[in-house]
Structure 1
C-alpha cells in the first residue's frame, strides 16, 4: 500500500485514515444568501466517502466582502452556520474530518461590488496601499482591486471579526479551522512589507509583522480548545494579488512564523509551492501570474524542502501538509523520507469524486475536458460541473 494511503496518528492522538487531504477550492455556488445548499452537501459527502482523511471547505469569508466571485460563501450569521452544519454532518457520516477555511480578503476587493456596497463597510487593509491586479468583470470598465483602502485602526478589531466567524464554525460542528494566510489576503498582507508599512506593534520588524497571524491563531485555539485543531496555510513565494517580496524577506518572515507556529504546537503547517518555478506543467489559473522581474529565487528553489526541517524534527507536535503540483510518486517518496506528513490535493477532487478509490485500485484519473467554466461558472444550476462527474467503473 502506498505510504499516502496508510493511516497516521498525530502527536495528540488524532487518528487520520490516510495522509491525503482535500484542498480548499472556491467554486462560486452559494446562490442562496451565500450559504451552502443541497448541491454542497452532495459534493462534499461524495468526496468524503472512502476518501481523504481531511476535507477543507472552500474559502469562507469571515466578513462581507467585495470579491469578483459573486457566490463565494460567507460565515457571519447563525443561518450560515446552520447551513454548514448540514454539510459537516454529511462529511462526518462518511468518515472524514472537516476544517473551516477562514478567509478575509483585506485589500484584495473592490468596494463597488454589490456585496460591499450593501454593507457600507470600507475595504480594510494593514496600510493604505492598494493591491495591483485582477479584473472585476461585473463592474463597468473591468477595474482591478480598489484604490479606496482604509488602514485598520486596531488590528484586534479584525481579530474579533475572525473570532465571531470561527465561533459560528465551531457551532456548525467543524473539527477545526484552516487559517488562509496566502494568496495576498489579509494575514499575508500583515506579513508582507509590500502591503504593510505600519509603525505600530503590527508593522516593521518581522516579529511585529507576524503578530496579527499569531494572535489569530491564539484566538482560534481558545475557541476550539487547543492548537491541534488548527491548520495554517501559507505560500512563502506566492505572487498572487500583488504579494511577491524578495527572497530575503521570505526567508526572514517564514522562518520566524513557522518556528512560532510549531512552538504553539499548531496541528498542521500547510505549505503551498505556488510561485516557485519547479518546471511542472499545470492548468492552474494562478500560473498565469508569473514571478515578476526583480524578485529572483535560487535555481530550483522549493519552499517545502527549505522549511520542512522547521516542522519535521523529533518532538515536533505539528504535521507538515504540502500542496501544489505534486505527483503521487514524488509525494510518496517525501513521506517515506520523513520530509512531509500529508499531501493536500485540489483540482483532481473536482473531477474525481472517488479519487482515493482510483488511487487504491490504480485506476486512471478523470481530467477536466469541459473548459474553464467548470471552476467558477457560469452554470445553469449549482450541480452543473459540480456533481455530475461519474465515479470509475468497478
Structure 2
C-alpha cells in the first residue's frame, strides 16, 4: 500500500505523514453538556499515536438549534473551545473540526422535549447571521487548536439544502439559479478562509449522488450544480475537496447501521456511474491548488490503486477506525483489519458507559 503511505502537503503549508484520513463520525458520547471529555481525549489520541495522516473529528455543531443528537458536541462558547483544546493538545496528527447545522424540516432529531422530525419549518430571513454563526464557531475552533475545518455540505444539512432546488425555493439571491444556490456555501468558505488566514485550512465535504435525508436531486441538476460548485471551490484554492459516492451504484452501502439505502425511484443514474471519477477531474489536474479526497466504502486496496493511478490524493476511512485504532500499522504490516463483531449499537453508544464500544477495541500485537 505504498501509494497511501506517501507523505503529502495540503496547500503547500500543512504536511501530512501519509494520505490516510480518519473521517468524521458522530459517536454521540459527549455526555458532559455536549463537550468532549476524558473518553474523547483517549479516543482521538489513540488513533493519532499510530500514525494517522489527518483526523477529522465528529461533527461539531455551530449552534444548539442545529444539534440532532443528544450527546453530539457543540462549538459556540469558549467553554466548548477549552474542552476541545484538551483533545487537540493530546494529538500528534493534524486535526480538522467539522461544522454542521441542522436541516430545517424533516431531519431526524433526538433531543428531550422535541419531535423526532421537525415540523416547524421556518425560512431563514437573515442569511448573513447564519454565516456569522459559522464564522464564530470557526474562530473558537481555531483557538481550540484545530488546524482547519471540514465544512459539511451533504446529507441534508443546511449548506446542501441551499444547493438543492428541491429544498431551496428561495426567490432572493440565494435561490433559483445554480450560482445563487451555491452562494451560501461559497460565502461560508470565504468566511472560514478569513478566520484561518488561508483557504488551505478548509476541506469541503460534498456528495453529488447523496440521497440521505431526502437530499437526492435529478442527474442534470446534480451535474450542473456540482460542476459549478467544485470549479468555484478550486478557484478559491480550498485545501481539500472530500468527495463522497453514497447513493451511487459503485457503493451499495454496508448495511451495518442504516441498512441498504436504495436510490429513490425517479432519480436514476447512468449504469456504473461513479461521482468521484466524474467530478474528480475538476480537482485533479496539473497545477491544481486543491487536493482530492474520497470517501464511502472503499477498500484499502482499491484506494491505494486509485492513488497510484493519480485519481485521488487522499482517502477517508471512518468505521474501520472504530474497531481498528491501529489501522495504519495494520496497513503497513499487511495485517488483516479487525471487523465489527459487536453489532450496530457501537456506532452511537449505550447509556450505561461512554467507553464501551468506543475505547475498548484491541490492537494488533505489532502495533
Short-chain TM bin? over 0.9
Write the distance in 1 (CA, Å) between the matches of 2:81 and 2:37.
12
Instruction: Report whether the alignment pairs 1:63 with 2:60.
Output: no
Deviations along 1:28-69, whole A, 9 cap, x unmatched? 001101000000000000000132111001000000036552
Q: Tell me the equivalent position of 1:117.
A: none
Q: Tell me the equivalent position of 1:345.
A: 317
Moved more, 281-290 or 243-252: 281-290
**Deviation, structure 1 residue 269:** 0.4
Write the distance in 2 (CA, Å) between the matches of 1:342 and 1:275.
21
Instruction: Report whether the alignment pairs 1:90 with 2:62.
Output: no
Structure-to-structure mapping, 1:159-308, within 5 angstroms: 159-278=131-250, 280=252, 282-308=254-280
Aligned length: 366
* Structure-2 change in CA distance of 1:138 and 1:371 (3 Å): farther
- Long gaps (5+) in structure 2: none
* Structure-2 change in CA distance of 1:353 and 1:155 (3 Å): same
Moved more, 271-280 or 340-349: 271-280
Q: Tell me the equivalent position of 2:21.
A: 21
**Residues 68 and 138 in structure 1, CA contact (< 8 A), matched pair in contact too:** no
- Long gaps (5+) in structure 1: 108-129
**Deviation, structure 1 residue 379:** 3.7
1:104 corresponds, among 93, 101, 104, to 101
Write the distance in 1 (CA, Å) between the matches of 2:138 and 2:103.
17
* Structure-2 change in CA distance of 1:46 and 1:286 (3 Å): same
Deviations along 1:235-258, whole A, 9 cap, x unmatched? 111111111110111001000000
Deviations along 1:265-322, whole A, 9 cap, x unmatched? 0000000111111155513534543211000011011000000110001111100000
Q: TM-score, normalised by structure 2?
A: 0.96
Instruction: Report whether the alignment pairs 1:362 with 2:334.
Output: yes
Write the distance in 2 (CA, Å) between the matches of 1:87 and 1:136.
25
Q: CA RMSD in A?
A: 1.7
**Deviation, structure 1 residue 197:** 0.4
**Residues 252 and 260 in structure 2, CA contact (< 8 A), matched pair in contact too:** no
Write the distance in 2 (CA, Å) between the matches of 1:302 and 1:50.
32
**Deviation, structure 1 residue 17:** 0.4
